[in-house]
Structure formats: structure tokens, C-alpha cells
Amino acid sequence: MWPITMAASSPLLLLRSFTPTKPFSKTILSLRKPLKFYSNSIRMEISEIEAEKKKIFVSGATGKTGKRIVEQLLAKGFAVKAGVRDAEKAKSMFPNPNEDLQIIKSDVTEGSEKLANAIGDDSDAVICATGFQYSWDLLAPWKVDYYGTVNLVDACRKVGVKRFILVSSILVNGAAMGQLLNPAYVFLNAFGLVLVAKLQAEQYIRKSGINYTIIRPGGLKNDPPSGNIVMEPEDTLSEGSISRDQVAEVAVESLLHPQASFKVVEIVARTEAPSKSFVELFGSIKERSRLTHVLNSLKLIALVLVFSIALMALQQLKILKVLIGMTRRLNEDVGL
């Protein structure tokens, strides 16, 4: 029950106690319609008060992580708009009728206008757990993991959503971390440079001005958690894995802790790691300065340059070898 007392001394006091101080405090109820008061009697029409739950739009809600995010949001008392490509699939995944769960058809590749309609003006935040599905289309990562995320951010701007949580991946900035030859970096990028696409999407979010939390998990596991969450700053972790349950938990907790705002966090689970609260985990991550971003971009450019020069040198060597071979053969032919 809401803590409403009809004998409240001041309507303003009521208003203050009901209006969340921050977009995402622990209070999940928010006031959408103004209270109506009648003169003298300080009578309040309860029917006019619409205290609604915070509503979160989850993109990729039928995914293995997305599903868990939806379930955990509902369990924590949020209302959810599940953005899905296939409504029938979603209905079979969430079979129990729940008035707090709304299933909305949306494809992130279809542009920000359609997404804005799906998110609507009643969503308080967006969580993006989409990921391209393996296919012969090498551009799929760019369509889904880059443009899809860009479309979602643009849609948020259109409808005034100010909070965005992205499930990204460790090693997205592997090149700048000196992990160019890390097998995971090489293998994942073999599928249409998905890590590069994700990194570009992250950069778009960071420049957009939206209040973001970018979660970069290690390898995802369907098993229940088997260790404690280890949270590190961006470009730190290059190996490790984590249960999708814990990734979903971090996504949901990001909404509840102001310490998660404007941060990129890398997460894995380790059995030997100490158990920490989310205040401690998010609080331990510092926001990176713009200078660090510039330096990282320069590092990436330098690496690409070195790589290209090395490739060109190799090519030249090959050409040189062919030329030497040809000269030798010519010399042999003319009997020199």
C-alpha cells in the first residue's frame, strides 16, 4: 500500500513524498498525474492519483539474457515492455499472464521512428540486450549491434527517455588493449567484426548525452551463478565468464543505483572473489576522462597503421621475392 494518509497536513508534503527525487531511486512508483485537491476540505480524489510502476523497455526480451532481465525486473516490481521480433515466441516464453508485462513487436533495424512508437512516452528506461543472430549476412552485427543500438538511442531521444543500459561485451576495445591476437577477439570479430560494431555503438551512446550504463560481460553461461561478481573498469578484463542470471542482475541493479550512471563496467564471476554489494561494485568504478578516450582512439589508430604498414611490407617482400625469382630464371635462360 502507498503511504497515503488523508490527514496529511500539506498537499505539497504529499507531492514531495510521492515524486521520486531522481529518475531512478529505489522508489519504483512514480506519479504521472497531478494530485487533485478540493478547496477547504483537503479532500483528495484517490481515483485521480495514478501511481505507476517504473516501466522499462527491454529490447531483445526473447534472448537468453533478455528473458532473464524481464523476469528479474518483474520480480523487483518494475513494469516491463518487452520489445520482441516474434510475439508468438515471446508469449510462449512468458506464458503466465502478468498485467505488468506488455509484449511489443519491434525490430531494432527498422529505424528510430518505429522504435520510438514501441518505447512510447510511458517508458522510463531502455535496456538493450539484443545481439545479432549468426547467419551468412556478414553485415548482421553492424545492422543489429551497431545501427540497432544507435536506433534505440535515437528513439529514446525522440520520446524523452533519459536512461539507457546496454549489454555489450568484454574485449570490444581489444585492439587498444593490446589484445589484437587474443583468440576470443580474433574469433568473435571473424563474424562481421561484431566487437568493433559494439564498440562503435558504445561510443555513440557515450556521445549522445543519455545517462548510460554499459555492461561488458565475459563469456555468457546459462548455468546459475557459480561465483561472485567481479566488476572492473573498461578495457581491463580479457577473459572470464559469467552466468546470464548475474548479467541480468547487474542490468536491473544499474537502474537502482545512481553510482552506475555514466559508467562502463566489465563483469565476470569468480569463485574466489569476495561477495560485494552493488553499491560497492558500482562505486568502485571511476568514470573515465575524455582524455583517456582520445588516447585510446589514438592507440587504436596507431595499431591499425602499424598493422597496415606491416601488411604492405609483407606484400613488398613478396613482390621482391617474385622479382628475384624472375631475374634468376631469366639469368638461367640466357645462360649467365
Ligand X SMILES: NC(=O)c1ccc[n+]([C@@H]2O[C@H](COP(=O)([O-])OP(=O)(O)OC[C@H]3O[C@@H](n4cnc5c(N)ncnc54)[C@H](OP(=O)(O)O)[C@@H]3O)[C@@H](O)[C@H]2O)c1
Residues that bind ligand X in the complex, under the rule CB under 6 A: 60, 62-66, 85-86, 107-109, 129-133, 144, 148, 167, 169, 217, 219-220, 244
Q: Give the list of residues 6+ apart from residue 145 with CB closer than 8 angstroms, or none.
A: 130, 131, 132, 194, 197, 198, 201
Strands 43-44 and 79-84: unpaired
Closest contact distance (angstroms) between CB of 45 and ligand X is: 41
Where residue 266 falls (left for φ over 0; alpha for ψ -120 to 50; beta otherwise) is beta
Nearest CA to 285 among 253, 314, 329, 330? Answer: 253
Closest contact distance (angstroms) between CB of 60 and ligand X is: 3
The residue at minimum Cβ distance from ligand X is: 63
Helix (H) or strand (E) holding 250: helix 244-256
Q: Which is nearer to ligand X, 142 or 278 (CB)?
A: 142
Closest contact distance (angstroms) between CB of 167 and ligand X is: 4
Enter the DSSP assignment of 48. G
CA distances from 46 to 2, 55, 177, 315 (A): 11, 21, 57, 78
Contact (Cβ atoms closer than 8 angstroms) between residue 231 and residue 267: yes
Q: Which is nearer to ligand X, 170 or 210 (CB)?
A: 170
Q: Which is nearer to ligand X, 14 or 255 (CB)?
A: 255
Closest contact distance (angstroms) between CB of 133 and ligand X is: 5
Q: Which is nearer to ligand X, 144 or 176 (CB)?
A: 144
Q: Which is nearer to ligand X, 63 or 192 (CB)?
A: 63
Q: Which is nearer to ligand X, 130 or 254 (CB)?
A: 130
Closest contact distance (angstroms) between CB of 109 and ligand X is: 4
Closest contact distance (angstroms) between CB of 266 and ligand X is: 10
* Distance between CA atoms of residues 72 and 327, nearest Å: 72
Residue 101 bridge partners (DSSP): 80
